[in-house]
Amino acid sequence: MENRDIDMKKYNPAPAVLSVLLFCLMSLPSCARDGEAFVMQTFVMGTRGAITIYGLPAEDAGSAASEATREMHRIESVMSTWKEDSEISRLNRDSRGMPVRVSSELFMLLEKAYRFSELTDGAFDVTAKPVVKLWGFQGGEVKLPTDAEITGTLEHVGWRKIILDEEDTTVALTDGAGIDLGGIGKGYAVDRCVEILKKRGAESALVDLGGNMFAIGAPPGHEAWSIGIRDPQDQSSLIGKVLISDEAVATSGNYENFVMIDGRRYGHIVDPRTGRTVDHVLGVTVVAPSATASDALSTGLFVLGPEESLRIGETVPGTRAIFALPGDVFEFIGNFGGKLELFE
C-alpha cells in the first residue's frame, strides 16, 4: 500500500440547490477489497466531502460512510446561511435583539464559536459576515468599500453582540449582528462524522470536508496519514506534507476564493477588527486536536499572522501551524517533532 498524499484543495461555495442535486449524483461509493480503501464522496456545504475507511468489511464501511455523509448534509441544513430555512438563518432573521430559543446542538456550536472569537480577540469572529459581504463575498457587490462603509458595517460586527443564555438555550443578536458559521461549520461536521465512524468501529479513516480533515489512526502499514500542503502560489504543487494521526488539520488560504477590484486581488478572509482583507499571509495550515478547532483557528491565525498567533499555540494544547508568507517565507508555531516535511 502506497502512502497517500491528500490535497487540501478547496472549492468555492455553490448554490444550495446544486448541492442537493449533486448529492444524489455524487455519493459514489468505491468498493473495497481487503486492505483497500473504501471511499465515499459527496458535495455538501459548497465543497467536496470525502470519507476514506480502511479495515472494515465493505458493507460495514459503506453503511458507516453513508451515515457520516448524511450527517454532513443534516448539519448543512441546520447551520448554512445559504439555506433560508436553516436554523441559523431563522435565528439571524428573528432575533433583532430578542432572545430566540435554539437547538442544543446549535447552542453548543455557538458557544464554541464565541470562545474561538474570544481566544483570537476577534481575528476569527463568527459575526464577520457583513464586512465579508462588503468586499463582494457571500453574495455582496464586488467593489472597493469606502472607509465610511467599512466603519458603518463594523458597527454590526463583534462576537460580544451575541448574548448566549445557557439555561434557556436562547441566543439574542444585538446591534444588528448576524452569525455566519462559514469559518467553523465544516470543521464541526467533520468532528461529528468522526464520532460516527468511531462508533461504527473504524480505526483507520480520514474525513475531509473541503480541506478540513480529521485522521483516525493510520492507513495500513503506516504510522500516520500523510497530508499534502498545497503551495498557495502554485496550486498544482505541494510545498510539503504533514503527518497526522487522531488529530485534525485545516488550511486557510486566499488563493482560491478572491475578488479582483481594479486589477488587485482581495481574498475572502477579512480582519473583522479593521474591516480590511488580509494580505500579509498567503496561507496557513493548522493542526489541532479537533476539526472544529483547526477550522476556526486556521481562519483566526490567518488574520493574526505568525507573531500574534504564538500566544494561541501556547493556549490551545496540541495546536501547530505552518504559515506561508509572501516571498517564499515559511514560519512555524509549535513543535512538529519530525512530522512535517517541507520540499525544496
257 touches ligand ADP (CB under 6 A): yes
Shortest distance in whole angstroms from residue 43 CB to ligand ADP: 15
* Position among 66, 77, 138, 235 found at the interface with ligand ADP (CB under 6 A): 138
**Euclidean distance between the first and the last CA atom of the chain, given in angstroms as a whole number:** 26
Q: Is 299 in the site for ligand ADP (CB under 6 A)?
A: yes
# residues near ligand ADP by CB under 6 A: 21
Look at strands 162-165 and 100-101 and give their pairing.
unpaired
Of 78, 102, 132, 193, which lies in the binding site for ligand ADP, with binding defined by CB under 6 A?
A: 132
Does 208 sit near ligand ADP (CB under 6 A)? no
Q: Which residues contact 38 (CB under 8 A, 6 or more apart)?
A: 29, 30, 31, 32, 52, 53, 54, 56, 58, 61, 62, 65
Burial of 287 (0-12, 13-18, 19+ CB in 10 A): buried
Least spacing, CB of residue 257 vs ligand ADP, in Å: 5
In angstroms, give the least distance from the CB of 254 to Mg ion.
12
Rounded to whole angstroms, how far apart are CA atoms 326 and 306?
Answer: 12
> Binding of ligand ADP at residue 191 (CB under 6 A)?
no
The 10 Å CB-count burial string (b at 16+, else e) for 100-116 is bebeebbbebbebbbeb
Residue 214 binds which one of Mg ion, ligand ADP, none, with CB within 5 to 8 A depending on kind?
none
DSSP-assigned letter for residue 47: E
CB of 147 to ligand ADP, least distance (A): 19
Grid look-up 453513508 returns 66
Q: Which does 303 bind (CB under 5 to 8 A by kind): ligand ADP, Mg ion, none?
A: ligand ADP
Q: Which CB atom, from 182 or from 219, has the smaller least distance to ligand ADP?
A: 182
* Contact code string over 56-95 relative to ligand ADP, x by CB under 6 A: ----------------------------------------
Angle subtended at Cα 60 by Cα 246 and Cα 248, rounded to the nearest 5 degrees: 15
Q: How far is the CB of 167 from ligand ADP (least distance, A)?
A: 27
Can you tell me which residue has the cell 467533520?
190
The footprint of ligand ADP (CB under 6 A) covers 10, 124-125, 128, 132, 138, 180, 182-183, 210-211, 252, 257, 268-270, 272, 295, 298-299, 303
